[in-house]
Amino acid sequence: MFLMKTHPFNPPLCYVVPTDTMVINTGKHVDHNGRIYLPYLHEWKHPNSDLIGLIEVMRVVFGEVPPVLASPNTAAQHTMAPRRMMRRETAAQPLPTNVPPSSSSNFPPWRMTTMPAETASSRQTAAQPLPTNVPPSSSNNFPPWRMTASSRETAAQLYPSRHTTYPDMTTYPKENAVFLSYQWDHQDRVLLLHDRLQERGYGCWMDIKQMGGGDSLYQMMDKGIREAKVIVSCVTPPYVESPNCQDEVALARTLKKPIIPVILEKTTWPVSGPMAIPFAQLVYIDMARSQDDDLWKGPLFEELIRRIECFMLDSKDKSAG
């Protein structure tokens, strides 16, 4: 968990760091780099949001879907555990005493030693099951152990207004959920992005797909942004300078729509001009560094999908509340 200089006004950057025997369990809340995406982080507002609340939400989410899994090598080692236990049980059997020396061995006979009575008694005591609900001892300074409710119930009691349930996001209505904001120089790439998102079940608003004869450009853009759950800004140097694109970002910011900047072409960040303030605190996805011929495949595209899913969940919870 990395705290920004602007904390607590901005959320921390949170990552899952697996041990040598674990691997990251990528999904809707954790990407392949281990970065954590939660609605609580995306709607962070000081002073209502804090680190304690964030940890409680993580306990709930990761209590249902663990962020790490045992690596294949570790799992294989665990399958050997019964054999090890069998060998240990065999070794634990008492050895016979007064065994005559074998004529085929040069070793002297084994002589069983006697365990002191106090040692044997202490081992038997240690093997007994530990009692539960033991009252606090007056001989120590530790408070008594208190069994609490499940992490989900605890989070609901402490933070009733926050996200304590996380339903399957694939059930959300996704019609025109994504507004694609772009500059026409990269229309072919954005068309392909539109098709890939449609294949994944996301309705997308794109001007050349929605506009018809006689339609007003500004009225349709206004309608598309207002109905969208998230804005995907396809950032290039011409996009930053485009008055129409600047208007789209300004309207999205006024309506408090979440924006995901996706860099399609090498661009100075943070950008300059009217988009500088809206984009300054956003985390972009740099598709310009992708080595794939098809930009809309691979881990960077999956990261975009995960962010869209997070905003979809956030929008669903707000509408339900």
42-72 per-position pLDDT tens digit: 777 888 888 988 898 898 888 888 999 998 8
Rg (CA), the chain: 30
Residue 80: is its pLDDT beyond 90?
no
Q: What is the dihedral of CA 199, 202, 205, 209, to 10 degrees?
A: 20
Task: Round to whole Å and give the CA distance between 78 and 101.
Answer: 39
Residue 125: is its pLDDT beyond 80?
no
* pLDDT value of position 35: 87
Write the pLDDT tens digit of every residue in 207-244: 887 765 555 778 888 999 999 999 999 999 999 999 99
| Strands 285-286 and 230-235, bridge-based pairing | unpaired
Instruction: Work out the pLDDT band at 118, boundaries 50, 70, 90.
Output: low
Q: What is the dihedral sign for C-alpha 197, 199, 202, 204?
A: positive
* pLDDT value of position 294: 79
Residue 144: is its pLDDT beyond 80?
no
Range with the poorest average pLDDT among 70-79, 150-159, 276-285, 307-316:
150-159
Name the more confident of 179 and 147.
Answer: 179
Task: Tell me the CA distances in angstroms from 111 to 86, 87, 100, 114, 143, one per residue in order.
Answer: 24, 22, 10, 10, 49
* Average pLDDT rounded to a whole number, residues 4-22: 87
* pLDDT value of position 316: 62
Name the more confident of 99 and 50.
Answer: 50
* pLDDT value of position 142: 45
Residue 114: is its pLDDT beyond 60?
no
State pTM to two decimals.
Answer: 0.48
Sequence spans of domains, the chain: 1-87+149-166, 169-320
The Cβ of residue 267 has, within 10 Å, a number of other Cβ atoms equal to 18
* Average pLDDT rounded to a whole number, residues 167-172: 39
* pLDDT value of position 101: 54
Write the pLDDT tens digit of every residue in 186-206: 888 999 999 999 888 888 999
* pLDDT value of position 241: 92
* pLDDT value of position 159: 44
Range with the poorest average pLDDT among 51-65, 100-114, 253-267:
100-114
* pLDDT value of position 146: 44
Q: Which residues of 278-312 are buried (b: 16+ CB within 10 A; e: fewer)?
A: bbeeeebbebeebeeeebbeeebbebbbbbbbbbb
Beta bridge partners of 204: 178
Q: What angle do CA 310, 43, 67 make, to 5 degrees?
A: 45
Task: Round to whole Å and give the CA distance between 267 and 91.
Answer: 68
Residue 259: is its pLDDT beyond 90?
yes
Is domain 1-87+149-166 annotated with CATH 3.10.110.10?
Answer: yes
* pLDDT value of position 37: 84
* pLDDT value of position 306: 92
* Average pLDDT rounded to a whole number, residues 121-128: 50
CATH architecture for the domain at 169-320: 3-Layer(aba) Sandwich (3.40)
* Average pLDDT rounded to a whole number, residues 133-162: 46
